[in-house]
Chains A and B, each alone.
Chain A
Amino acid sequence: MTNTLIIEKLTPILREVFYDDDIVAVPQMTASQVNGWDSLGHVRLLVEIERAFDVRFDATEISTLKSVGDLADLIERKREAAPQGVGAS
């Protein structure tokens, strides 16, 4: 799955977690631009992403992410490391 596809798939997850149907995920998007994306929202988002993409994050990896682009890169790296994932389409 390419980075672009990952970002596309992040849009509905972001909308669901932060109850905002206007959210459109773009690489430059940061937490401060999304209402509700605080420390707890961040973990909730990452848990949803783990489910959707069949990946698993470390707590320290989660804390270093600065933008949706970083997030997509991390998901891509994780999926490359474990290509047998079944949760993604």
Chain B
Amino acid sequence: MPLNSIGFLFVFLPLCAVLFWHLPRPARVSWAPGFLLAASVCFYAVNSLASLLILLPSVILDYGIARLILRAHPARQGLRHSLLIAGVALNILFLGYFKFGAVVLATVNQTLGTSFNAAPAIVPLGISFLVLQKIAFLADVRSGQVKDLSFLEYLVFAFFFPRAIAGPIIHYQEIAPQIRRPVERDPREHLMVGICLICIGVFKKSFVADSLDKYVSPVFSTPSSSELFDLYPTLITSWISLLCYAMQLYFDFSGYSDMAIGTARLFGIRLPMNFNSPFKATSIVEYWSRWHITLTRFLTAYTYTPVVLFLTRRRMKKGAPVLQGKKSKASAILTIVAVPTFITMILSGLWHGVGWQFICWGLLHGFYLTVNQAWKMLRPRFWPDKASYERVMKPVGLVVTFFAVILALVFFRAPSVTSALSIYAGLVGANGVFPETVQLYHAAGVDTPWIVMNSKTLIGAVWWLVVLLPAVMLLPNSLALLSRYQPVLEGELWEGGLVASRLAAIVVAVLGVLGVMTLNQGTGFLYGQF
């Protein structure tokens, strides 16, 4: 019963929402956290009870560590710090076992000729997202941002079902006050915003993202064995497929995020923003402030910033130059800009999946971000006039950022590095330009997965791209459209925003109906696999 299923949308969710808002009023204050926890347990029970049972001990252990940190005397900073380190290490081991256990064990068995069999049977639902959330929680307890702790609220924070599959990654202090405050008497605005976001989300996921899969999977299923390495998809096929994948991933994950935010809002709870029109970004730094925002803020707060600060202070102590804007020295840029960026993006790659292709994706983004940051600092030296720079470079930046992002997506989607390289070869036309060229292979008796992508199929893909590319670059996003009603916790959206009207309701309803009608195409959410 994922978020994009009939059972969730038409049975589980309406039932929970109706019960929530119709609980006896005097009891609501104390009922809300218990109710949300019970609903979340039901959600896990229906989807994957085993996940709940695996995750629960680690969630309770973190609560115990958090209590110990809070109880430790403020003067005993060493103890508090050691507890935090222990908690973070346990979380990383826990996630590492489930994500990398099978691969590591297979390698060990192969190398040593052993036959250990301790690989995890399942990967618990949303474990990657929950582990980051738990690490942030421990760090926030240690830094004093979480001062009061309630076990019930903590369990809701950990298992809150709208975000169970793939985030957003939330902080305890963001959600606890919302759970504990008295429920408002009038739920109409919450329900309106929630239903709008769910309708838009299900449309994005089912009608758009799932429809694009037939243009993506055949090409990205390119065999990774070296003997077929020469059989690249052709130039046109590769580019169309890659553009379709960029759109599929965006509409899939932003659709999921809209549904998660909308689902939480049905219970009067606002989640943080996860997407803000990433393809409108005019630089790669800006792109990361708009794409998977809650992951970016986690990595920035708990990896990037501490490393930059540590390296800056270390250089200052040694008397080495630190960043000084346009006068920054190359050594300072390499140490303080490149090193933290590459560390952060490689970690991001590893978090996303197992395989060298994710590390390559992280390295590419590390490179992009380093170049972008270095240029931002040094630019006044080469192009001092800021106004003329922005006038010329903003449109250029939009295009360059878009292509940089989608070229890195090849590694993100391909099943292996070899497979990714064959797509890159296709993108530069190493196997001809037109789709029909590949059919020559077919005529020669070679069966390739991308043979199905003939010109006729590709025309359908082009129509999608003609509509979707301008839409993602020009139109306001779902959260901006609802900005009058504070759809998310914070973040600067469009100053305008739609006013509730019959016309808007009809448009949203049509989107919702189209989304529901195409639900049967549905696959899991792409980010659910992480």
| B residues less than 8 Å from A46 (CB atoms) | 309
A80 within 8 A of B: no
Main secondary structure of the interface of A (DSSP, over half): helix
Output the least CB separation between A8 and chain B (Å): 22
- Pick the contact of A43: B139, B285, B286, B308 (CB < 8 A): B308
| A residues less than 8 Å from B305 (CB atoms) | 39, 42-43, 59, 62-63
A40→B336 CA distance, assembly (Å):
9
Indicate with 1 or 0, residue by residue over B480-523, a CB within 8 angstroms of chain A CB atoms: 00000000001010000000000000000000000000000000
Q: Which of B128-142 contact A (CB under 8 A)?
A: 139-140, 142
A80→B386 CA distance, assembly (Å):
39
Output the least CB separation between B492 and chain A (Å): 6
A25→B289 CA distance, assembly (Å):
23
Output the least CB separation between A69 and chain B (Å): 15
Q: A19-B380, A32-B492, A63-B301 are in contact. Are A40 and B308 (CB under 8 A)?
A: yes
Indicate with 1 or 0, residue by residue over B296-318, a CB within 8 angstroms of chain A CB atoms: 01001110111011001100100
| A residues less than 8 Å from B114 (CB atoms) | none
A63→B304 CA distance, assembly (Å):
10
B306 & A38 in contact (Cβ 8 Å cutoff): no
A36 within 8 A of B: yes
B442 within 8 A of A: no
Residue of A nearest to B307 (CB): A59
Output the least CB separation between B436 and chain A (Å): 46
| B residues less than 8 Å from A63 (CB atoms) | 297, 300-302, 305
| B residues less than 8 Å from A57 (CB atoms) | 309
- Pick the contact of A39: B142, B300, B322 (CB < 8 A): B300
Q: Which of B466-480 contact A (CB under 8 A)?
A: none
A36 & B376 in contact (Cβ 8 Å cutoff): yes
Interface residues on A, range: 20 to 34
| A residues less than 8 Å from B312 (CB atoms) | 43, 47
Q: A19-B325, A32-B492, A59-B309 are in contact. Are A39 and B139 (CB under 8 A)?
A: no
A44 & B380 in contact (Cβ 8 Å cutoff): no
B322 & A47 in contact (Cβ 8 Å cutoff): yes
Q: A19-B380, A38-B289 are in contact. Are A47 and B309 (CB under 8 A)?
A: yes
Residue of A nearest to B310 (CB): A59
B308 & A64 in contact (Cβ 8 Å cutoff): no
| A residues less than 8 Å from B142 (CB atoms) | 60
Residue of A nearest to B376 (CB): A36
> B286, B309, B326, B373: which has the most chain A beta carbons within 10 Å?
B309
Interface residues on B, range: 20 to 34
Q: Which of A17-69 contact B (CB under 8 A)?
A: 17, 19-20, 30, 32, 35-36, 38-40, 42-44, 46-47, 57-64, 66
Residue of A nearest to B328 (CB): A44
Residue of B nearest to A42 (CB): B305
B304 & A39 in contact (Cβ 8 Å cutoff): yes
- Pick the contact of A58: B143, B304, B492 (CB < 8 A): B143
B337 within 8 A of A: yes
| A residues less than 8 Å from B286 (CB atoms) | 38
B47 within 8 A of A: no
Residue of B nearest to A46 (CB): B309
Residue of B nearest to A32 (CB): B492
Indicate with 1 or 0, residue by residue over B319-347, a CB within 8 angstroms of chain A CB atoms: 00011011000000000010000000000
A4→B332 CA distance, assembly (Å):
34
- Pick the contact of A60: B139, B316, B380 (CB < 8 A): B139
B455 within 8 A of A: no
| B residues less than 8 Å from A47 (CB atoms) | 309, 312-313, 316, 322
| B residues less than 8 Å from A16 (CB atoms) | 325
Residue of B nearest to A50 (CB): B313
Output the least CB separation between B78 and chain A (Å): 15
A57→B490 CA distance, assembly (Å):
24
> A16, A38, A42, A61: which has the most chain B beta carbons within 10 Å?
A38
A17 & B325 in contact (Cβ 8 Å cutoff): yes
A36→B411 CA distance, assembly (Å):
29
A62 & B337 in contact (Cβ 8 Å cutoff): no
B326 & A19 in contact (Cβ 8 Å cutoff): yes
Known A-B contacts: A30-B492, A40-B308. Give 19 more (CB < 8 A).
A19-B326, A19-B380, A32-B492, A38-B289, A39-B300, A39-B304, A40-B323, A40-B337, A40-B373, A47-B309, A47-B312, A47-B313, A47-B322, A57-B309, A59-B305, A60-B139, A60-B140, A60-B143, A64-B143
**For the complex of A and B, 8 pairs with smallest distance between CB atoms:** A63-B301, A60-B143, A59-B306, A43-B308, A39-B300, A59-B305, A59-B309, A38-B285
Which residue numbers of A lie inside 8 Å of B, CB to CB?
16-17, 19-20, 30, 32, 35-36, 38-40, 42-44, 46-47, 57-64, 66
Pick 14 A–B contacts, CB within 8 A, sort by A: A17-B325, A19-B326, A38-B286, A39-B304, A42-B305, A43-B309, A46-B309, A47-B309, A47-B322, A59-B309, A60-B139, A60-B140, A61-B143, A64-B143
